[in-house]
Structure 1
């Protein structure tokens, strides 16, 4: 073959390869940049203001929605996440926690306080742990409870990494002090709720003792516990102890011995699990199913008057690598279900 032709062929291949590489660089998206839409991180104030986190090309964005408008309050880098948020009892401020998405270099959380009117934020505190949840004390707007994890790892080579060694803390805004309320170093604690009348917090966790056998760990259930802050070692179950199916996220119903919780509705049917919401009165020991969406309903938040429930629905649950979340609202008895329109979802 003619030498000039060979040189021309290889030159053409080189040019085409370079062109494709440049195109790939220009149009390739990282996994973070592919993330768009509403997350499960949101809260509703006593005044009906909604704060929510939505992703835009991987960037977490915090929005404040009132009856009149929606405003962008904060935009973070793609390598940061907002783990949780909580309105103050009077609804004028919003606490939120920021952490790095990648934690290989060490844990670090920053808790900020946002003024809802000015949208200005100030730093409350930073901590070399992974803060997973926040909850103001309804009895004291100067007291912010939080769940803090000492580790973020996978306890099994085939399992995802999650926060572990978790305990309940509180931060006192006016005194700038932290108090550790439990010494559980629990494998998993979620759904932190604070009693509006007593010095008690409520959490979801496993009903397994530290010295449990392998068989007991296999049989463990996830239930709702109340923890008296004066004697935290005397925590007790308030959910139905005879219920065989795990309970996940939950919210307390104001002025009642009741809760709304998430659980699997088709555990014995096989196939893809469907997560629905339930109402449970632990005084009367009565349970009622609220939703029948046959999908994934999660993160219930009950309005201050106890009449309505906000919650998240993932319409792409078990169908896509990326969630497709929408915010819904219904009456406390499960009727009048409707979607809440968010401009930046």
Structure 2
């Protein structure tokens, strides 16, 4: 990151930190020290199976279930002093990729693991002394794309410590050396998705490319951006008609017609922000609100028929540690169903 840009972000970080202290709920809530019991937000589905991370008093494991939340099986668990997160299926659904990072944020390192869907042949694919925050398979099942942060720090005395200086990388599934795709050193990249044709990558980030002051950065919005893999220097915002607030958690349907994301549904109020899902019809360029649950709906995933959107709803958003519940909504928004995740013995994870 250029020195001038970083200096601007330091001031902007102070402003954003003040925004947190005002209790307006800007951004996502994160668990205190990661010690809690419940579902983590990120998950994935493939065919009739789901994969998710679940924490039991801070001990996190990777689990699979069917799409009704039943037949839960533990696939892998974190090692001592680790947290495992962001599990995703391979394109053929035969393996799961997930990330392991230290609980102690003073240790800046990450590992990528793959494991067969039956829990066999777990192996560490890659390890690095940096923070990998998200990773996904390419449609060809031969490449993994991931977001890596070079630093974990706070850009102001009152802002919380977090990962910064992000870029997009790729890695061959067979292992070897990683390849750096972008050279942005961006303040924050999130919500990594690969287009169904494998030609583009989508992320969400602050639209700060023309910012000259800290006030400009603070006024800029978090948007969806498209990275053309054949020309990664071309990073373009995706226009979302009618959306004026920050956008997070982007997802593209398998048939490429739909894009789902979440955004603030109650701007200009004195209440905690409420994040709802919105859906873009890419054929008509029309956007509409999909959920009306209040609090925080996010981490959307389409089913393979592009008929349902599965997502996590944080019923305690803005009140401290998250309490996620699993839901699905039909594309017309008329049917919204809670999916209780049931472990052995009938106990519920939601």
Contact 1:302 1:309 in 2 (8 A): yes
- Give matches, 1:326-337, under 5 Å: 326-337=325-336
Partner Cα separation in structure 2 for residue 238 and residue 33 of structure 1: 33
| 8 Å Cα contact 2:315/2:322 also seen in 1 | yes
- Residue 160 of structure 1: CA displacement? 1.1
Under a length normalisation based on structure 1, what TM-score does the superposition of the two structures give?
A: 0.85
How far did 1:34 drift? Answer: 5.3
- Note the C-alpha offset of 1:284: 2.6
1:66 equivalenced with 2:71 (yes/no): no
Alpha-carbon distance, 1:336 to partner: 1.7
User: 1:16-27 counterparts in 2 under 5 A?
Assistant: none
Q: Deviation of residue 125 (structure 1)? A: 0.9
For 1:40-85, what per-residue CA distance to the aligned partner results, in whole angstroms no more than 9, with x for missing partners? Answer: 131112x221111111121012111137721112232573222322
SS in structure 2 of the partner of residue 141 of structure 1: coil
Tell me the matched-pair count: 311
Indicate conservation of the 8 Å contact 1:266/1:274, yes or no: yes
Match of 1:92 among 84, 88, 94: 94
The alignment's TM-score, normalised by the length of structure 2, stands at: 0.83
Between the two structures, name the one with larger relative contact order (CA 8 Å, sep ≥ 6): 2
Q: Which has the larger radius of gyration?
A: 1
Corresponding residue of 1:122 = 123
CA distance in 1, matches of 2:142, 2:35: 39
Work out whether residues 34 and 103 of structure 2, in 8 Å CA contact, stay in contact via their aligned partners in 1: no
Can you list the C-alpha shifts for 1:133-178, whole angstroms capped at 9, x where unaligned? 011111x111111001111111111111111111111111236332
CA contact under 8 A between 1:60 and 1:78: conserved in structure 2? no
> Which 4+ stretches in 1 moved above 6 angstroms?
none
**Are the counterparts in 1 of residues 241 and 286 from structure 2 also a CA contact under 8 Å?**
no
CA distance in 2, matches of 1:198, 1:73: 28
| Aligned residues of 2:241 and 2:287 also touching (Cα < 8 A) | no
**CA shift at 1:270, angstroms?**
2.1
> Counterparts of 1:163 and 1:48 in 2: how far apart (Å)?
34
CA–CA separation in structure 1 for the residues paired with 2:217 and 2:260? 26
RMSD value, Cα: 2.0
Match of residue 6 from structure 1: none
CA separation in 1, counterparts of 2:73 and 2:144?
Answer: 25
Distance 1:314 1:127, change over 3 A: same
Q: Structure 1 residue 285 and structure 2 residue 313: aligned?
A: no
Q: Which secondary structure state, in structure 2, belongs to the residue aligned with residue 232 of structure 1?
A: coil
> Which stretch of structure 1 is more off in the superposition, 259-268 or 229-238?
229-238
Does the 8 Å contact 1:272/1:318 carry over to 2?
yes
> Corresponding residue for 2:275?
275
- Tell me the distance in 2 between the aligned counterparts of 1:136 and 1:253: 15
- Cα deviation 1:14-52 (Å, max 9, x = unaligned): xxxxxxxxxxxxxxxxx769511111131112x221111
Output the CA distance in 2 between the equivalents of 1:268 and 1:127: 42
Moved more, 234-243 or 117-126: 234-243
For 1:99 and 1:210, locate their aligned partners in 2 and report how far apart those are by CA, in whole Å. 34
CA distance in 1 between counterparts of 2:254 and 2:33 reads 38
Shift of 1:107: 1.3
Structure 1: gaps spanning 5 or more residues = 1-30
From the superposition, tell whether residues 182 and 237 of structure 1 become closer, same or farther in structure 2 (CA, over 3 Å). same
Alignment-derived partner of residue 312 in structure 1: 312
Please say if residues 109 and 126 of structure 1, whose CA atoms lie closer than 8 Å, have aligned partners that are also in contact: yes
Partner of 1:35: 36
Write the mapping of 1:232-247 to structure 2, written as runs, cut at 5 A: 232-240=232-240, 243-247=243-247
Shift in Å, 1:210: 7.2
Q: Deviations over 1:229-256 (max 9, x none)?
A: 1211211111327632110111112223
Cα shift readout 1:302-338 (whole Å, capped 9, x = no counterpart): 112111111001112223x222111111212222211
**Any conservation in 1 of the 2:53–2:87 contact (CA below 8 Å)?**
no
Q: Which residue does the alignment assign to 1:7?
A: none
Deviations 1:159-210 (A, max 9, x none): 1111111111111123633211100010011111111214211111111127
The verdict on how the C-alpha distance between 1:296 and 1:182 changes in structure 2, with shifts beyond 3 A counting, is same
Match in the other structure for 2:49: 49
Query: What SS class does the counterpart of residue 177 from structure 1 fall into?
Result: coil
